[in-house]
Amino acid sequence: MNANELSFLVVEDDAFQRRIVVNMLRSLGATSIGDAGNGMQAFAILREPSGKPVDIVVCDLNMPEMDGLEFLRHLGQEHYNVAIILMSALGSKLLISAGKMAKMYGIKLLGVIDKPFMPEQLKQMLTKFMRADYNWPQASSAERFTLEEVLQGIRANQFEPFFQPKVEFKTGQIVGAEALARWIHPEQGVISPYGFIPLLEQSGEIDKLTFLILEKSVAACRSFHDRGCIFSISINLSPNSLDDTTLADKITQVVRNAGIDPRYIILEITESAAMTDVAHALENLVRLGMNGFILSIDDYGTGYSSMQQLTRIAFSELKIDQSFVKDFADNEALRIMVKSSIDMAHELQIKIVAEGVETQQEWDLLKNMGCDMAQGYLIAKPMNLISFVEFCMGYRLRM
């Protein structure tokens, strides 16, 4: 897909600024570009039944009659299938807050840009949209399947781990991979986690999937080690699973039955689960650590953590959420937060992984900040076992 195949709408009250953005899009190859002076005019275009569906809206925040925030709210409430690029001269902090609000409304947010900006920044966001394998979190995707359909898929062994490599900044080597659950649906192809994880968690059936992915991931780890590739495999644990006091022993048994030392299995726990005060959850995490597993805090920065809470459990890895990495190259506040997280982790003798690394600029900045590992589309997308093995065989050190 190219820019000339997409339909754009620029929503900006200043006519001069609006022309600048339109001309930038044209310079990037766009041919179908509409424009509006505020949110109300934009909706008149979006609602036009005979008009071409809009793919991407480039929207200002501060506008008369209907500003960008109200426009985003209505977009979310009416479930328009468009992607949004937010722009503003009001400062990066307000832009970041507006971006988080957009995501909470279920909007496909490509990114935020401080005005004035350069065509290259716009190009990066268009590249992200045009990437065929880019998965958007959709609030309604879980409604496509019933719980029984998902459980039948598990019983039919249709779920597989897809592996996304983790690369060490210092050496440029692949040092591990995260195993991400995918449903290989016989009719609808590869289904992302948004189509089944919420159903399984809400129904209390998530452990059926967790242990299926665990068994397959551990078997893959065994095959990597047999090939001489001593990788660690990261596996996600649902917060819902931690209430079962037998969980740690069950996981340990699966891993040891496969002949894998638990130190090669990293168990990722979301920050909100890691900070829980529920005794059962803490008992599981402590026991997993006692059994030799590496514990990792996933999505760091999205929960409610503190230095004291981070030291309650023997975490060995911390993963900076991709929402902090994305666009941090152009956002001083985000850079400060990422750098302070890296420094804090190292003070606590914790390795730090940056998720969602998509550009060379992000790689270079993170490397200079002393980050330990990177994971993201710059290195590779998640892939099935065969593709991952082929990728590793052809991989050249990233330095």
Per residue of the chain (399 residues), what is the pLDDT tens digit? 577 788 899 999 989 999 999 999 999 988 899 999 999 999 888 888 777 788 999 999 889 888 888 888 888 877 777 889 998 887 777 777 788 788 777 788 888 888 888 888 888 888 878 764 444 444 444 447 899 999 999 999 999 999 999 999 999 999 999 999 999 999 888 998 888 988 898 899 999 999 999 999 999 999 999 988 899 999 999 888 888 889 999 999 999 999 999 999 999 987 555 555 567 778 888 899 999 999 998 867 655 444 555 666 778 999 988 888 877 887 788 899 899 989 999 998 999 999 999 989 999 999 999 999 999 999 999 999 999 999 998 888 876
Residue 399: per-residue pLDDT: 65
Residue 135: per-residue pLDDT: 45
CATH 3.20.20.450 intervals, the chain: 142-394
CATH 3.40.50.2300 intervals, the chain: 3-130
355 tagged catalytic: yes
Give residue 39's identity as a one-letter amino acid code.
G
Q: Match domain 142-394 to its CATH number in 3.90.550.10, 3.10.200.10, 3.40.50.300, 3.20.20.450.
A: 3.20.20.450
Scanning the chain, the segments in alpha helix (DSSP H) are 15-27, 39-46, 68-77, 92-104, 119-130, 147-155, 197-203, 206-226, 247-257, 271-274, 279-290, 307-310, 322-325, 332-347, 360-369, 385-394
Shortest CA distance to 170 belongs to which of 381, 368, 396, 391? 368
Structure tokens at 112: 């935020």
> What is 3-130's CATH topology?
Rossmann fold (3.40.50)
Catalytic residue among 355, 358, 362, 390: 355
Give residue 110's identity as a one-letter amino acid code.
L
Structure tokens at 285: 């995490």
Residue 375: per-residue pLDDT: 96
What's the CA gap between 210 and 237, in Å, rounded? 7
Structure tokens at 261: 């030392």
